[in-house]
Amino acid sequence: MSRAVLSLGSNLGDRLSYLRLAVEGLSDVLVAVSPVYETAPWGVTDQPDFLNAIVLAESPDLDEWDWLRRAQALEQRAERVREQRWGPRTLDVDVVTVDEVRSTHPDLLLPHPGTPSRATVLIPWLAIDPNATLPDHGQVTDLLKALPASDLNDVHRRDDLTLR
């Protein structure tokens, strides 16, 4: 059995519909879906705010490369265009972790390298897996405690929006 943590984000068009497209596309392997959070962009900050969520998924038939292909297929269904790194997007699906797999392949870095410093990933992840551990980094709760308060304050739970 392979267990993946996938991060979803959207800041163009009907953001919630794009997140729902991803959840629907993973329905056959879905274990849990976090609440939806709204966050300010980082990296390139002159763009719309993001909606973010985390999903946990399992399959006996998928390895880390299969999870990446599933993520990329969902982005293609959302007609994502990659024009600018960290730029606006209809849908971003990142493979955060797959079991305890480590990968330094440039096409699939595992665990996802930005995870330890991203409240936009850590907060939703903890909402559905309070005992989450990021390989090579430790407990997600500890990673979250190490972040500046300003990072935490930029992540707003949207209880008025649901993915299922």
pLDDT tens per residue, range 111-149: 999 999 999 999 999 999 999 999 999 999 999 999 999
Each residue's pLDDT tens digit, 25-72: 999 999 999 999 999 887 777 789 999 999 999 999 999 999 999 999
Once rounded to an integer, what is the mean pLDDT over residues 88-117? 95
pTM for the full predicted model: 0.94
Length of the chain: 164
Helices and strands counted in the chain (H then E): 5, 10
pLDDT over threshold 90, residue 155: yes
Report helix, strand or coil for 70: helix
Asked if residues 65 and 109 have their Cβ atoms less than 8 Å apart, the reply is no
With 90 as the cut, is the pLDDT of residue 83 above it?
no
Class of residue 117 by CB neighbours under 10 A (exposed 0-12, middle 13-18, buried 19+): middle
Identify whether the C-beta of residue 103 lies closer than 8 Å to the C-beta of residue 109.
yes
> Rounded to the nearest 10 degrees, what angle do helices 64-77 and 15-25 cross at?
140
Task: Quickly count: other Cβ atoms within 10 Å of residue 164's Cβ.
Answer: 9
DSSP β-bridge partners for residue 33: 55
pLDDT of residue 89: 86
- pLDDT of 86 higher than 70: no
**Cβ–Cβ < 8 Å for 2, 62:** yes
> Rg of the Cα trace of the chain?
15
- C-alpha–C-alpha distance, residues 78 and 105, integer Å: 25
> Annotated catalytic sites, by residue?
80, 89, 92, 94
Give the largest Cα separation in the chain, rounded. 41
